[in-house]
Structure 1
Amino acid sequence: MAELQPARFDGKVVIVTGAGSGIGAATAQRFGRDGAAVVLVGRTREKLEKIAATMPAERSMVHVADVSNQDEAEGLAQATLQRFGRIDVLVNNAGIATSGPFLETSVEDWRRVMATDLDGVFFCTRAVLPELLKVQGNIVNTSSVSGLGGDWNMSVYNTAKGAVTNMTRALALELGGQGVRVNAVNPALTMTDMTADMKDDKDLMARFADRIPMGRGAEPEEVADVIAFLASHDARFVNGVNLPVDGGLSASNGQPKQA
């Protein structure tokens, strides 16, 4: 009989921000299936508890916090240590988006997106990093293909995700020699609450399908699986990578299909 292998995150503690829906929810569930103790972080308790109810109660914890608030990010780290005693992986996934012409973008929208998408990564990383250094853990950021190239009428989101992309690289350089790896996933269109309105636009979906070689957007679980890989021992020599999870979209040079 083959020897039973332990789940690859047995004994590990993983924090997932934005865990109430979409990629974050799928990521929390994936780590839970792989044996981790998981801290589900978000601003809406009901959404977090709904996801946590699908996971082992003894290895999951709901923590309500706004990651754009420095004190709440620090409180997240403290609460995790109080419950589980260590932190091995931080998944900076919380994010929001806004779109529209640059001159019509309000200062409030700019600050709101930057606060969650960029400040949240900064505050959570700062709060958790001392613990990651102790155990030689790692960080996986959720960036976007919008952090690798520009979109029409999404300058604010592009700016925030571009910053996350380059923060990933910079921290990988700084921390890799200390045993902490930092990587990011860069999804294209993913079927989440954030893209629900887009899904109902058949013409828009057809245009996405035409541009993505695999002919569709991603499911949240398909991104979560890649996050789990980057956080795992299997990826132990992967550092500073911004990995497109885009069905081949970024393989194109931008020219249209030809017969």
Structure 2
Amino acid sequence: MLQNKKTVITGGASGIGEQAVRLFHENGAQVVIADMNEANGTALANELGEGVSFIKVDLSIPEEIEQMIASAVETLGALDILINNAGFGTYGRTHIIAPETWYKVMEVNLNALFHTCRHAIPHLMKNGGSIINTASVSGTRADYGFNAYAAAKGGVINYTRNLALDYATDNIRVNSISPGLIKTPLTGPLTGQPEAYREYMHNIPMSRAGEPQEIAKVMLFLASDLASFVTGQNICVDGGASAWNGQPRFTEIFGDVTIP
């Protein structure tokens, strides 16, 4: 499906990014893993072997991002697909969150996308390509306590739309994916608290957390020719949570009946 497509995946050493690396490699892509976790990234590249390599990068440092893209293109010979997947969140209401924490969340979740895209797009313009940004359902609606993360991910979604408009005539498609609750190292603290987890499950119509592979499959679709006319879109992959308006589950209250 992606035979010989030259791909960079940030945050590719674990979680959703790792599954994307595996799936893209399985489908013929040549992949550069860009991540801070050198141990995991190198181990994954060694495991998958030919066609997969690792570059260590701190996405909060613009100069490292520039060098990472340059090194990736040198390694791959070109660039067809950029997946901006790296990110992290922090909890705290505005009056107690430290300014440096806010800035760090913005640097990694939002500013890094500007820098990766700024340096990658000139290469993508040569033959066209695809950019996929990992946003979050937290960027589509508010979350209690996740001020910085929600603000950053909301920015990712609208930045994606702007990129899609600006580069459509260059044959570069740009889309974002907004995962809901996914079983990754980042969500471990929540999934490890039974009471909080049960409450979260009640708000997901499919009544379960998603698997990283389920996000990677949507990435594969968006990167492939199957999505050749799809750009500027934000796809929520959340088990139906974003479709629900929060009213009671009337079918559980009334049962399977009709009420005049």
TM-score in terms of structure 1 length? 0.95
Which runs of structure 1 show a deviation greater than 6 angstroms over 4 or more consecutive aligned residues?
A: none
Deviation at 1:83, TM superposition (A): 1.3
**Correspondent of 1:13 among 6, 16, 25:** 6
CA deviation map 1:95-125 (0-9, x unaligned): 0100112111100110110010011111111
- Per the alignment, residue 114 of structure 1 pairs with 106
**Correspondent of 1:236 among 207, 210, 228:** 228
Amino acid of the residue matched to residue 22 of structure 2?
Q
Give unmatched runs, 5+ long, in structure 1.
1-7
> Which secondary structure state, in structure 1, belongs to the residue aligned with residue 176 of structure 2?
strand
- Per the alignment, residue 31 of structure 1 pairs with 24
> Which secondary structure state, in structure 2, belongs to the residue aligned with residue 38 of structure 1?
strand
> Which secondary structure state, in structure 2, belongs to the residue aligned with residue 169 of structure 1?
helix
Give unmatched runs, 5+ long, in structure 2.
254-260
TM-score in terms of structure 2 length? 0.94
CA contact (8 A) 1:69 1:123 kept: no
Amino acid of the residue matched to residue 49 of structure 1?
T
1:44 partnered with 2:67: no
- Per the alignment, residue 194 of structure 2 pairs with 202
CA deviation map 1:166-219 (0-9, x unaligned): 000111111112210000100001111101111111011111111111111111
- Per the alignment, residue 116 of structure 2 pairs with 124
Deviation at 1:50, TM superposition (A): 2.3
- Per the alignment, residue 141 of structure 1 pairs with 133
CA contact (8 A) 1:15 1:91 kept: yes
> Which secondary structure state, in structure 2, belongs to the residue aligned with residue 243 of structure 1?
strand
Q: Percent identity?
A: 37
Within a 5 Å distance, the mapping from 1:57-96 to structure 2 comes to 57-96=49-88
CA contact (8 A) 1:68 1:123 kept: no
Deviation at 1:155, TM superposition (A): 0.9
- Aligned counterparts of 1:67 and 1:135: Cα–Cα separation in 2: 26
- Aligned counterparts of 1:179 and 1:160: Cα–Cα separation in 2: 27
Structure with larger Rg: 2
